[in-house]
Amino acid sequence: MREIVIGGAQMGPIQKADTREEVVDRMIALLQQAKGAGCDLVVFPELCLTTFFPRWYMEDQAEVDQWFEREMPNAATAPLFAAAREAQIAISFGYAELTPEGRHFNTSILTDRDGNIVGKYRKTHLPGHSEFDHDRAFQHLEKRYFEPGDTGFQVWRNMDAIMGMCICNDRRWPETYRVMGLQGVELVMLGYNTPSVNSQDSVEGLEKRLYHSELSMTSAAYQNATWVVGVAKAGDEDGHPLMGGSMIVDPNGYVMARAETEGDELIVHACDMDACSFGKSTIFDFARHRRIEHYGLICSQTGVVLPD
């Protein structure tokens, strides 16, 4: 048995006016709770140091850049790294990254138990649009503020397991998990900020949004025989509701822990990495069963081409 007690640290809303220091205090409180629950690893949401700023249209690059971190750890997050090291808990969290070369990414990192960053992932599938869209009920400007990630879907050996990350919209794409599955991934960690309503379809509300999120993560866990931990930033951010629904999914696709609120809430499950072995060696033994001679379109074509 290779058991890792995992905490999914869902976070409630972060308002525009909230400081990084206030947010980090909340993260440390969740970390202390996780320590009490015996957690080895805690997963925090996407862009968890600030409000979900891509909902706001900005033209001034200096205004945009105030939402980004130039280094990690930095002055605001150092206490979080120190608390994690002190508790001997590995952490993963998302933030907006501004590189020394001036590149902007939607990023998440993974540490070991000593607070050393051992993995970095930059979001691949950026949803939304790049210009102000008058037809939407609200904006989703990730394509304006970020460039698509350049890391691809790597995995890392950490805590005697094979771990990978993706971010929010990535969780809806089977390719995300399969690329990690082909590297033997046993735990996929992801954070998300998902609006509770569809900005392009006011009829699509919370129930369907939660269902699609669960469907994406549970099917991917089963089809790749991996644990999936999905963690929300939830609640009302300056009048804009984000859904909760954080969950820990086992390699059979069953939900083993689920958040009940839209606030700061820790969900915990003892995850046995050896539980991945059966699926990986039987129905999803990729080496025996995959037929790559028929999968070429997936890598040679982006959009749909209809038959004549």
Contact between 240 and ligand CDT per CB under 6 A: no
CB 109 within 8 A of CB 72: yes
CB 161 within 8 A of CB 119: no
Q: Report CA 173 to chain centroid distance, whole Å.
A: 13
Q: What are the structure tokens assigned to 127, written together?
A: 């949803």
CA atoms within 13 A on the CB side of 216: 25
In the numeric block, the tokens 């929010």 are attached to 168
Contact between 140 and ligand CDT per CB under 6 A: yes
What is the pattern of x (binds ligand CDT, CB under 6 A) and - over residues 44-83? --x-------------------------------------
In whole angstroms, the minimum distance from the beta carbon of 9 to ligand CDT comes to 17
Contact between 205 and ligand CDT per CB under 6 A: no
Phi/psi at 8 (5° precision): -100, 110
- Residue 168 falls in the annotated catalytic set: yes
Total residue count of the chain as it appears in this document: 308
In whole angstroms, the minimum distance from the beta carbon of 206 to ligand CDT comes to 13
CB-nearer residue toward ligand CDT: 108 or 158: 108
Contact between 93 and ligand CDT per CB under 6 A: no
Contact between 119 and ligand CDT per CB under 6 A: no
Q: What is each CA distance from 254 to 44, 162, 218, 229, 249, in whole angstroms?
A: 21, 20, 7, 12, 5
Give the distance between the most distant pair of CA atoms in the chain. 63
Q: Between β-strands 187-192 and 227-232, what pairing exists: parallel, antiparallel or unpaired?
A: parallel
- Residue 22 falls in the annotated catalytic set: no
Among 194, 196, 224, 246, binds ligand CDT (CB under 6 A): 194
CB-nearer residue toward ligand CDT: 11 or 84: 11
Stretch that binds ligand CDT, among 77-85, 166-174, 233-241, 262-270 (CB under 6 A): 166-174
- Residue 271 falls in the annotated catalytic set: no
Among 121, 146, 153, 192, binds ligand CDT (CB under 6 A): 192
Q: Give the DSSP letter of residue 116.
A: -
Positions annotated as catalytic residues are 46, 123, 168
Binding site for ligand CDT (CB under 6 A): 46, 127-128, 140, 168-169, 172, 192-194
